[in-house]
Chain A
């Protein structure tokens, strides 16, 4: 599983990881449906950029930044998965030492901080490739459509 498919799956997994905090009585959503919706949303995002950004060159640059964003998010999703595995194992271990838990938490916090810095830099670069009016349209779509909670949770039957 490589390239776009791998990234999409990772994003879907990342979205699903949010669900424990908001899963409803109908249980977790169907991963295939989540992925299908995510694919359509990401494709729609690129189409929107092509139709919104006046310069073809800037639109190309922006699409490249979206790819970079998705790569970073997928990478970060893997870091989250590893952390959850680690902390789950430590939690179940009655004899786990405080140092081990502290180390897991501070190590993950550093990774998260670095990932956020990289992603925010991409966001900053996206803004610089757009005019204020173009960004208004792109940001509106991203905030509304690329919400993992919405992407995944509405498949499970709605809720907050």
Chain B
């Protein structure tokens, strides 16, 4: 994948910060989960938070699949001397729509997570306390 096409990747790897504040990927969500386990001592709220983060991880994995698929399509179009800009933009536009939908869902889950954490716990998880 070339630099130009990888600008699309920023969207979902580097640029998909969303809820996590860093890269929105399964590893980052797992890390947040560990921080939540430490910060939230109430079992019921901790369990609810874990469920929310599980849903977030599922969303991200689904998007990663879409991203991988579009990456293959873009590479093919890039190699094809006859393929024009509109064909590449169609793939990128679809990916952009997927990204925005994933981000909207991530925001929904962010507010679900907020219900399970106090302000102090939130600060501990996302700010290091």
A interface residues with partner B (beta carbon < 8 Å):
11, 14-15, 17-22, 69-70, 72-73, 76-77, 80, 83-84, 87-88, 91-92, 94-95, 98, 101-102, 105-106, 108-109, 112-113, 115-117, 119-124, 127, 130-132, 135-136, 139-140, 142-143, 146-149
Q: How far is the CB of B40 from chain A (nearest CB, A)?
A: 14
- Give the residues in chain A near B11, CB-CB below 8 Å: 109, 112
**Contact flags (1/0) for B46-84 with A, using CB distance below 8 Å?**
000000000000000000000000000001001101101
Of the residues A80, A102, A142, contact of B10 by C-beta under 8 Å: A80
- Give the residues in chain A near B88, CB-CB below 8 Å: 120, 123-124
Q: Are B99 and A14 in contact (CB-based, < 8 A)?
A: no
The answer to whether B30 has its CB under 8 Å from any CB of chain A is no
Of the residues A73, A87, A91, contact of B7 by C-beta under 8 Å: A73
Q: Are A124 and B92 in contact (CB-based, < 8 A)?
A: no
Q: Tell me if B's interface is mostly helix, strand, loop or mixed.
A: helix
- Give the residues in chain B near A87, CB-CB below 8 Å: 17-18, 21
Q: Are A146 and B3 in contact (CB-based, < 8 A)?
A: yes
B interface residues with partner A (beta carbon < 8 Å):
1-4, 6-11, 13-15, 17-23, 25, 27-28, 75, 78-79, 81-82, 84-85, 88-89, 92-93, 96, 99-100, 103-104, 107, 110-111, 114, 119, 122-123, 126-127
Which one of A11, A112, A132 has the highest number of Cβ atoms from chain B below 10 Å of its Cβ?
A112
Q: Are B4 and A122 in contact (CB-based, < 8 A)?
A: yes
Q: Are B100 and A105 in contact (CB-based, < 8 A)?
A: yes
- Give the residues in chain A near B114, CB-CB below 8 Å: 94
The CA-CA distance from A87 to B24 in the complex, in Å, is 11
Q: How far is the CB of A146 from chain B (nearest CB, A)?
A: 5
- Give the residues in chain B near A105, CB-CB below 8 Å: 18, 100, 103-104, 107
- Give the residues in chain A near B23, CB-CB below 8 Å: 20-21
- Give the residues in chain A near B28, CB-CB below 8 Å: 20
Which one of B6, B25, B119 has the highest number of Cβ atoms from chain A below 10 Å of its Cβ?
B6
Say whether, besides A18-B13, A20-B22, A91-B20, A143 and B79 are in contact (CB < 8 Å). Answer: yes
Q: Are A116 and B89 in contact (CB-based, < 8 A)?
A: yes
